[in-house]
Amino acid sequence: METRVAYAAVGVFVITLVATLIGLGLWLGADVETRQYKPYLFITGESASGISPGSVVKYRGVEIGRVSSLRLENAEQVRIGLNIEKGTPVKTDTRASIATQGVTGLAFIELIGGSNEAPDLKPWPGDEPPLIPPAPSLLKRLDVAVSKNLENLDQIAAQVKDLLNDDNRAALSTVTRNLALLTDTLVQERGRVDEIMTNSARLTGAGAVAFEQLPDTLRELDATLREVKSAAANFRETSKVLGETAKTTGKALGEMRSSLEPGMDALLRQLDATAGVVEDLTRKIKRDPSQLLRGPSAALPGPGESGAP
């Protein structure tokens, strides 16, 4: 009897445990969600490969929601519905793109951008949820960059092809030969090159010495300029004094001339008369030198006078 009771208790325990495990599994497996979500739309022109309903939505690396729906908008675009937690700062400058996670390559929707100053994204008129503008994904950016680089490579290849035409190859060969000739000439003239280098070193040394002496030379030049300025100032002062002296001398000479002019005129007249007398006397002595001894002869009487013949 006791053995049957033990078996019954074990059976009840096992059944209860299995039922509990099944209920727990069903509860964990069910998509029971206590958080509240707000619907958004994301329309992209890129491939949505790897995205499906239930895919994760992240904002700055934090999971904030799930993909609710996925369908074609038209031949070039995919319409993706998003359920994002209420309170998530989805702004007018927020952008959405398709990203992949690390090495696993799992695709998810990533929200990027958004500033605190921007207003919240509002729903469209009607019942349409707010539309988050798309941003190019990493794969799209890589594809664009690779395409541009390939175009650049094509252009470079074409330019290189143009550069290596027959004329340019001939010119390049000529330049190469000239360089070889120049190298041979330099080897042959190595002695002269060494001499030139030595002279250059000497010239550089002389230039360094001259540069060291430059401050002294500049000081001497400055002193000389100051002396020249001083001499010029003295010369200007002397010129000024000489000018004033010349003015004074000219004035004195003018006054002297004014005072001497009348006497000089009378003196000149007397000298002129004296010169006439001396000249007359000289003529008489020349005619009769004996007059110096006996004096002048008496004048002959005129007609009618006594003693006249």
Return d(Cα 136, Cα 112) in angstroms, integer: 11
Radius of gyration of the chain (CA): 65
Residue in 130, 25, 126, 40 with CA at minimum distance from that of residue 84: 40
- In angstroms, the first-to-last Cα distance of the chain is 239
For residues 23 and 76, the answer to whether their CB atoms sit within 8 Å is no
Alpha-carbon separation of residue 210 from 129, 143, 206, 222 (angstroms): 83, 64, 6, 17
Query: Model-level pTM greater than 0.75?
Result: no
Report which of 40, 61, 49 is spatially closest to residue 112, judged by C-alpha positions: 61
pLDDT of residue 172: 81
Average pLDDT of adjacent 10-residue blocks, the chain of 309 residues? 62 82 74 76 89 92 92 91 91 90 82 88 81 80 73 80 76 84 78 75 71 73 78 74 72 65 67 72 66 55 52
d(Cα 49, Cα 137) in Å, to the nearest integer?
12
pLDDT at 9: 73
- pLDDT reported for residue 308: 45
pLDDT value of residue 306: 53
**The two structure tokens encoding residue 246:** 């010349």
Dist CA 110 CA 102 (whole Å)? 13
Beta strands 94-101 and 37-44, pairing class:
unpaired
Q: What are phi and psi of 64, to 5 degrees?
A: -125, 0
CA dihedral 185, 186, 187, 188 (to 10 degrees): 50
Instruction: Copy the structure tokens of residue 251.
Output: 């004035």
Give the pLDDT of residue 79: 93
User: Structural domain boundaries of the chain?
Assistant: 37-135, 136-190
As to burial, measured by CB atoms within 10 angstroms (0-12 exposed, 13-18 middle, 19+ buried), residue 52 is exposed
